[in-house]
Amino acid sequence: MGRLTCLATPHLADLLIRDALIVTPDGVTPGGVLVRDGRIARLVPPEALRDGSLPPTRSVLHARGRYVLPGLVDSHVHIGGSEAGHEDWRRAGRAAAAGGVTTVIDMPDTVPPLLDPPGVAARAELVRGESLVDFRFHLGVRPDRVDLLADVVPAAAVSVTALPAAGGSDATRAAEVFAAAARAGLRLLLHLEDDPAGRRGAPPSSRPDVRDRRHGDVDAVGRIVELVRRHGTAVHVVHVATAGEAGLLAAAAGQGLPVTFEVTPHHLSSTEADAGRPGSRARPCRAVRSERDRERLWEAVWRGEAATIGGGDAPHVPGESGAPAGVPCGPPGVRELLPAVYAGMRARRPDAGPGELLRLIARLCADNPARLFGLAGRKGRIAPGMDADLVVFDTEEQWTSGSAEAYGRCRPTAGDDRPVSGRPVLTLRRGQVIWDAGMETFGPPDGVFPPAERPADLAVRRPGGRPPFSRSPSRISPYISPGLPDLQRERS
């Protein structure tokens, strides 16, 4: 395909993206996108591009038949870090923009941990002027200070993270966390962890600690489901890795419980055999598992059981405390999220058109996380009135994900030098070009802390067993489910 042509000033006021294939919730349509004051003003049909009836614009970008997606919302990153030497916002923002991610939601494992609205305000002020992409935070919760959740408003956070997964040795404390999150109208994120096992180099199948942990994680999911049933807490379980976990969570959602879950690119792309091969440079703290586990996660994607795909970005610099020598723990997945997922889908569904696959990616990596975490009024979709967060994606361009293009401090990437086809060639955040692959240039680090609203399924405290949303049949293809549909306010 021809090279992108962008006639633009550094700070775009008005922009027309023309000759594009636009990925919207209703399908893929040819035409253009008109941007005004950082928002999408209208979608332009091809005939309007030809007859010259459009108002004048300061800048025109010729997509030359490439796809235009909504900017991705990665709801699972660990940019702040808990130790010196961890990734910083300026470099991580570049990695995100180069991967087509325009908004990130950072986990609260910082020093000090993020526990209350004043902490959110202070942290947002620290990040302002450092991040190339827009940013929000998940709050943390300490079992001995669940009272802090009572003062949380959507402007500060709509979600709270408990580490590790609730339901461990102190069942009373776990129940208090679930009950407090439900009372406060907050979505509770739960991590299933392998730490410290995931930091070791041997394949999981050869490690008794991970073999035993597999059964423990399934038991933990069972306890989570029981607490959801008891308290009506909306939960989102992140980096699900095994077939058993996915099956239990999907069954709970099928019963109408407010349960959603995330899968990650590294668990969709790799197995324990890959983790054990010589030269593998990045291993997730949540160990990759068997081929059977990986294929069950893909089934969750096709069936619409998985609500989101998150990068799970948690890069450590080699030599950092807790990381084995030469092997950083926690892959810098934000850069590879879009290309890795697209490559995996394309390999498994070669007969599907690129637009079909990209539409599903847009739902799982942009629309759904925006809806789950209070950003649906501004982020996640290409539609008039939404932020002009846009990604021009070339489905054929080949590149090597393990190259220096990671842009973060942690150079090794989740791809381990595997060539892939498909990459973002231009990323816009609120109408401004923040990544141009052709020029290898970035925009200024002026990302903002956008406002959020309480998601509709959290607006009413539900008793356990009543669904926060309903599932609708796929309109994409016979084998691709739409994933998480519109969240609707519960009627009393």
Residue 148 DSSP code: G
Q: Is 236 helix (H, G, I), strand (E, B) or coil?
A: strand
Contact yes or no for 94/102 (Cβ under 8 A): no
Tokens of 32: 């253009």
> Is 5-69+388-396+405-442's fold the same as 71-372's?
no
Question: Is residue 319 predicted with pLDDT exceeding 80?
Answer: no
To which residue do tokens 């361009």 refer? 397
Please name the fold of domain 71-372.
TIM Barrel (3.20.20)
pLDDT score for 409: 55
Q: Which CATH number fits domain 5-69+388-396+405-442: 1.10.10.60, 2.60.40.10, 3.40.50.300, 2.30.40.10?
A: 2.30.40.10
Nearest C-alpha neighbor of 363 from the set 136, 25, 21, 28: 25
Domain ranges of the chain: 5-69+388-396+405-442, 71-372
- Give the containing element (helix H, strand E) for 293: helix 291-303
Tokens of 477: 């293809």
CA 324 to chain CA centroid, nearest Å = 26
57-103 residue pLDDT tens: 889 999 999 999 999 999 999 887 545 556 789 989 999 999 999 99
Backbone angles phi, psi at 192, to 5 degrees: -95, 120
Residues in the chain: 492
pLDDT score for 191: 87
Contact yes or no for 198/329 (Cβ under 8 A): yes
pLDDT score for 110: 81
Tokens of 392: 């021009």
Question: Is residue 307 predicted with pLDDT exceeding 70?
Answer: yes
Question: Is residue 23 predicted with pLDDT exceeding 50?
Answer: yes
Contact yes or no for 190/237 (Cβ under 8 A): yes
147-197 residue pLDDT tens: 999 989 999 999 999 854 444 456 778 899 999 999 999 999 998 865 444
pLDDT bracket for residue 6 (50, 70, 90): low
379-416 residue pLDDT tens: 999 999 999 999 999 999 887 765 444 455 555 444 45
pLDDT bracket for residue 213 (50, 70, 90): low
- Give the containing element (helix H, strand E) for 183: helix 171-184
Residues 334 and 337: their CA atoms lie apart, in Å, by 5
**Which residue has better confidence, 267 or 324?**
267
Q: Which residues pair with 15 in a beta bridge?
A: 35, 59
95-147 residue pLDDT tens: 999 999 999 999 998 878 899 999 999 999 999 999 999 999 999 998 888 99
Summary mean pLDDT of the chain:
80
